[in-house]
Structure 1
Amino acid sequence: MTVADQDTSGNPEIDLTDPEVLRDPFTAYGRARERSPLARLRAPGIGTMWAVTRYEAAKALLADPRFEINARSFLRPDVPEHCLAYMRTMSELDGPEHSRQRRLVSPAFTVRRAAEFRPRIEPIVERLLDSLPEHAENGSVDLLRHFTRPLPIDVICESVGIPGPDRPRWRAYGATIAAGSGQGFGEAVPGIMEGAKAAIARRHADPGDDLLSDLIRVQAEDGDRLSETELVTMVWHLVLAGQTPANLIANAVAVLLAHPEQLAAVRADPALMPRAVEELTRWCGPTLLSIPRYPREDVDLFGTPVRKGEPVTAVIAAVNRDPRAFADPDRLDLARPAGPAGHLGFAHGPHFCLGASLARVQTEVALTALLRRFPNLALAGPSAAQRAMDPGTWRLAELRVTL
């Protein structure tokens, strides 16, 4: 197996195109973690990247100011030139520029605001579940296509005030963005930008109780506020980063259906759901690798010299199952008590996922309603959960279930 290879420093070396790594990254990265806190990842066309495999080291990396996120941390899609001004999201900012925007927008993304938005999410979930039987083919329905994928973009539309007639188009945008880069991705971006500008204009004229209105109203004590360009970019950021629940919910459903005793526990006690969402995020969250960081200077990582500008990532798939941080980490336990180590499924440090609270609420509402509405929910056969071979994201390409 490729993970058994090592570089000249003795660190494990992993080929991201290895079918065994793609099929079961948790085992592959787990073996590397137990050999060394540092590994090297290889991918044709991308090159090599250092990878931190253990929990405490990953937390330190993600909070270390010596490592920066910059434009090289992201694949830049081919988009029309007039959209480029809106493409540099807060995720790409670092230092004072990032701190300024984070300070301005954070009040709109608190745990309290996410909880207050729950009553707006619940009817969206119920409507999607109402329509599931209509999409059945040969007795089964693709839950990814007809439930988990449209849910996040429907929530985003509600949170930024996209009019009802425009929402089917935004659903198409969301599906395209969730699928990744390509021609369709670049073609969707102008529509999102124009829709964002129109939504911002509406909320300037008629503020509401929603996320976009919060962002427009926000003003720091020194009078600083988001510019119009920053507001459009923030909506783009929501669409881009807000797809996480689509994959998290789909992964969670597949895992629960494969663990009937855990499924029975959460059905019997719906109050267990918030804790269950945390455990599912730890155990089968979609993020396999963190956004790459680049050292601003030469550094030493566990005795290995890492040069300035060499990419470094945290292997979330390994650190969230590190036995140094979690007891019996390869066992799914929806009643796992909260301990000193929290999962890193939403990252850590200055770039901790801004929308984590909203993603958690969406996932809780979606799973609770799905299990309540369809007590006989089951996978539609042994090949019902088709896994996408994606080295960066643990996600499904299809999830066919019977209702």
Structure 2
Amino acid sequence: MSTSAESTPAMGTGKCPVDMMDPALLSDPFQGYSRIRDQHRVVGARLFGIEQPVQLVTGYDDVRAVLSDPRFANDPAAVSGTEGETFRRDAAAQRGLSEEYAPYFLETILDADGDEHTRLRKLVSRTFTVRRVNDLRPRVEQITEKLLDDLPRHAEDGTVDLIEHFAYPLPITVICELVGVAEEDRPRWRDWGSRLFSFAPGAFGSAIAEMVDHIHEMVRERRAAPADDLLTGLIRAHDEDGDRLSDQELVTMVLTLVLAGHETTAHLIGNGTFALLTHPDQLARLRAEPGLAPRAVHELMRWCGPVQATRMRYPTEDVTIGDTTIPRGAPVMAVLVSANYDPREFGEPERLDITREPAGRRETHVGFGHGPHYCMGAALARQEGEVAFTALLRRYPDLALAIDPADAERQPLPGSWRLTRLPVRL
């Protein structure tokens, strides 16, 4: 990437060749965004019917470059005098988020840059180190086995919904125990998460408001009765040194951790199980060699990852990619799915191959992002996926889809790949 005043302006400044709500694109984003990538390194798109276009960056190398380039800010306020902040607030307002609660969604650790991002990340990063995550493994395995024990009693006519009774309960239990969310409150978080990804009128805005109010109540309760959990640690950081964590930052940190800590992993498990059940050769390989689970999780995250595009970035100056100049402040979205299917990086990218990723820690896909905002909980998500897939296949060797694969129901949400249900026979 380079800057150049002589390059052509970004596509989409006057027109939007891509409609991210196009049903064909929503139903097959893998091939759809791959075709777009093969035609355009950068292309204008329309999202949620908002007039201002977003610029999609599609190729593997370009996506990684954008996600690691400090010229692309997560916080639109860093690019004064542009329409970046208006774009985000319009998008939130389109989904029913009130001005009172907007800061709790629009001003989080995910939206911070530079020193601010580092300050916030340090407050929780130690919880998600590889060593700490490895220490959690026995508890993750215990929760997994209990959920698998209970699956038969959830079956109706021999069919059980694996999303409802396994893929969601596992990660939400783990992250809620870490943060300090009471067991009786966890079903409410499951409901709030569903409403965030719903297009029902007012569902998104009301879910954010209810979560924020609930976290304020959690903080009051924990101050009265401290515990050995992350919430208590965050409250201590706030109370002992208010410069380290403000009131709003405390609430948004909890909201972000709980949502990010279970939504992505739940759909990694759901999408991954569906992929394995529709690829019997890969299913048989993983059953025969459970030690392949770490590599399988990486490949499933590449091949059918639940997060297909990043949050918006905003260039702090005109930036040129190829022959296209992205104007300062224009909303930019890095398309992870087209990067993960880029044949210049992955041979036969449309082929699922659970041995594709090299053994060890090296990670080539961008399913968990890249750069300073690389997913903080990636190690935990990978571990939960490894435990979930190996235990599920071991406990239920006859596991099979209870529907025709073509009838699988997915939420029509751009930038996301999520099953609404996964009916299986045990």
- TM-score, normalized by length of structure 1? 0.87
Provide the rounded CA distance (Å) in 1 between the counterparts of 2:47 and 2:221: 45
Letter aligned with residue 67 of structure 2: L
Structure 2 portions without partners, runs of 5+: 1-9, 77-84
Displacement after TM superposition at 1:332 (Å) = 1.1
With 370-379 and 189-198 compared, the bigger mean Cα shift is at 189-198
Displacement after TM superposition at 1:91 (Å) = 0.7
Provide the rounded CA distance (Å) in 1 between the counterparts of 2:387 and 2:199: 26
Letter aligned with residue 379 of structure 1: L
Partner in structure 2 of residue 3 of structure 1: none
Letter aligned with residue 368 of structure 2: F
Displacement after TM superposition at 1:375 (Å) = 1.1
Provide the rounded CA distance (Å) in 2 between the counterparts of 1:166 and 1:29: 38
Alignment pair present for 1:104 and 2:130: no
- Match runs of 1:130-209 below 5 Å: 130-179=149-198, 182-200=201-219, 208-209=227-228
Displacement after TM superposition at 1:38 (Å) = 2.3
- TM-score, normalized by length of structure 2? 0.82
Partner in structure 1 of residue 339 of structure 2: 319
Alignment pair present for 1:391 and 2:414: yes
Alignment pair present for 1:60 and 2:82: no
Alignment pair present for 1:364 and 2:404: no
Q: Of the candidates 21, 25, 40, which is equivalent to residue 17 of structure 1? A: 21
Displacement after TM superposition at 1:398 (Å) = 1.9
Provide the rounded CA distance (Å) in 1 between the counterparts of 2:39 and 2:97: 42
Alignment pair present for 1:290 and 2:310: yes
Partner in structure 2 of residue 342 of structure 1: 364
Alignment pair present for 1:49 and 2:54: yes
1:325–1:341 CA contact under 8 A, matched in 2 = no
Displacement after TM superposition at 1:198 (Å) = 4.7
RMSD over aligned CA atoms reads 3.0
Shift in CA distance, 344/95, structure 1 to aligned 2, threshold 3 Å: same
1:108–1:214 CA contact under 8 A, matched in 2 = no
Alignment pair present for 1:32 and 2:32: no
Shift in CA distance, 199/115, structure 1 to aligned 2, threshold 3 Å: farther
Letter aligned with residue 390 of structure 1: L
With 339-348 and 242-251 compared, the bigger mean Cα shift is at 339-348
Partner in structure 2 of residue 267 of structure 1: 287
Give aligned pairs, total: 395
Structure 1 portions without partners, runs of 5+: 1-5
Q: Of the candidates 255, 258, 274, which is equivalent to residue 236 of structure 1? A: 255
What secondary structure does 1:396 align onto?
A: coil
2:12–2:55 CA contact under 8 A, matched in 1 = no
Provide the rounded CA distance (Å) in 2 between the counterparts of 1:102 and 1:125: 28
| Superimposed CA distance per residue, residues 208-264 of structure 1 (whole angstroms, 9 cap, x where no aligned partner) | 554334545669xx9963344422221111233231112111110110001111111
Provide the rounded CA distance (Å) in 2 between the counterparts of 1:217 and 1:36: 49
Partner in structure 2 of residue 252 of structure 1: 272
Shift in CA distance, 12/196, structure 1 to aligned 2, threshold 3 Å: closer
Letter aligned with residue 381 of structure 1: I
| Superimposed CA distance per residue, residues 354-386 of structure 1 (whole angstroms, 9 cap, x where no aligned partner) | 221222122222222221221111111215522
Provide the rounded CA distance (Å) in 2 between the counterparts of 1:199 and 1:396: 31
Shift in CA distance, 82/294, structure 1 to aligned 2, threshold 3 Å: closer
Letter aligned with residue 37 of structure 2: R
What secondary structure does 2:367 align onto?
A: coil
Partner in structure 2 of residue 277 of structure 1: 297
2:12–2:44 CA contact under 8 A, matched in 1 = no
| Superimposed CA distance per residue, residues 117-145 of structure 1 (whole angstroms, 9 cap, x where no aligned partner) | 22232233233323322322332122122
Partner in structure 2 of residue 304 of structure 1: 324
Shift in CA distance, 314/191, structure 1 to aligned 2, threshold 3 Å: closer
Q: Of the candidates 217, 226, 229, which is equivalent to residue 245 of structure 2? A: 226
Provide the rounded CA distance (Å) in 1 between the counterparts of 2:108 and 2:376: 12
Letter aligned with residue 119 of structure 1: P
Shift in CA distance, 51/193, structure 1 to aligned 2, threshold 3 Å: closer
Displacement after TM superposition at 1:20 (Å) = 2.5
What secondary structure does 1:401 align onto?
A: strand
Provide the rounded CA distance (Å) in 2 between the counterparts of 1:27 and 1:215: 43
Provide the rounded CA distance (Å) in 1 between the counterparts of 2:119 and 2:280: 46
2:42–2:58 CA contact under 8 A, matched in 1 = yes
Shift in CA distance, 143/101, structure 1 to aligned 2, threshold 3 Å: same
Shift in CA distance, 227/389, structure 1 to aligned 2, threshold 3 Å: closer
1:142–1:399 CA contact under 8 A, matched in 2 = yes
Displacement after TM superposition at 1:310 (Å) = 1.6
Shift in CA distance, 122/208, structure 1 to aligned 2, threshold 3 Å: farther
Alignment pair present for 1:92 and 2:107: no
Displacement after TM superposition at 1:84 (Å) = 5.1
Letter aligned with residue 51 of structure 1: L
Provide the rounded CA distance (Å) in 1 between the counterparts of 2:351 and 2:16: 25
With 353-362 and 161-170 compared, the bigger mean Cα shift is at 161-170
Q: Of the candidates 343, 351, 356, which is equivalent to residue 373 of structure 2? A: 351
